[in-house]
Amino acid sequence: MRCDHCEKGKLIAKTGLYHYTESGLPNLYLENVKWLQCKHCHAREVEIPRIGMLHRCIAWLIITKPSLLTGQEIVFLRKMLGKSQKEFAELLGLSQVVLNRWETGARKGHGSANDTKIRFLCLTLQDDEYTHRINQKIWELLFKFFGRIQKSPSPLHASINPQTCTPEEVSSVTIEHLLATQTKAPGINRHTG
């Protein structure tokens, strides 16, 4: 098979750890993925299984990250919720210009109060079976956890298996785990961030 991109190279089938740059996040890897890669221009064609579930897992990993969100992570969360920059800025009570600065990292960060606001907004808007399981006890644990977030942004560094990952972490057990600084869920390995 020829590459559609350069029309020169041959496509080679690959399998293994896939650097998921399409997510817009710099240190995110997918385990056990199959893709085709051009020998000439290195363009890749990938089909990612269970992408909706995967993105919810990534969102959950970002929301429960122990350091301030990066601009790229704010973009990921906003897109995950299907909001435009204008709509998201309105929900946060900001001008689009300010949100754009946070997302592009053009200015110094958004601060911890706004960071918490973004995380809660995402949990509130992400209306699914997992967020429905957040009860009062879990909200309290989340509040405590967000109050301890490190003041400097450090990007999420994780590898996820899209075949097996679930946003199961939204349970009191895993949140308590989170407070003990470690999260481990099926198919998800958080390295740092």
Interface with Zn ion: number of residues (CB under 5 A): 8
Subset of 72-111 contacting Zn ion (CB under 5 A): none
For Zn ion, the closer CB: 43 or 141: 43
Instruction: Find the angle CA(178)-CA(118)-CA(142) to the nearest 5 degrees.
Output: 25
Choice from 1, 2, 6, 132 touching Zn ion (CB under 5 A): 6
Rg (the chain; Cα; Å):
18
CB of 34 to Zn ion, least distance (A): 18
Subset of 27-46 contacting Zn ion (CB under 5 A): 38, 40-41, 43
Name the nearest CA neighbour of 66 among 176, 145, 184: 145
Beta-carbon neighbour count of residue 92 at 10 Å?
18
State phi, psi for 148 to the nearest 5 degrees: -105, 10
For Zn ion, the closer CB: 42 or 86: 42
CB of 35 to Zn ion, least distance (A): 13
Stretch binding Zn ion (CB under 5 A), from 9-17, 18-26, 143-151, 153-161: 9-17
- 3 near Zn ion (CB under 5 A): yes
Which structure tokens are listed for 119? 């995380």
CB of 38 to Zn ion, least distance (A): 3
Phi-psi region of 28 (alpha: psi -120 to 50; beta: other; left: phi over 0): beta
Please check whether residue 167 is in contact with residue 131, taking contact to mean a CB–CB distance below 8 angstroms.
Answer: no
Please check whether residue 68 is in contact with residue 109, taking contact to mean a CB–CB distance below 8 angstroms.
Answer: yes
- 5 near Zn ion (CB under 5 A): yes
For Zn ion, the closer CB: 38 or 118: 38
Which residues contribute to the site for Zn ion (CB under 5 A)?
Answer: 3, 5-6, 9, 38, 40-41, 43
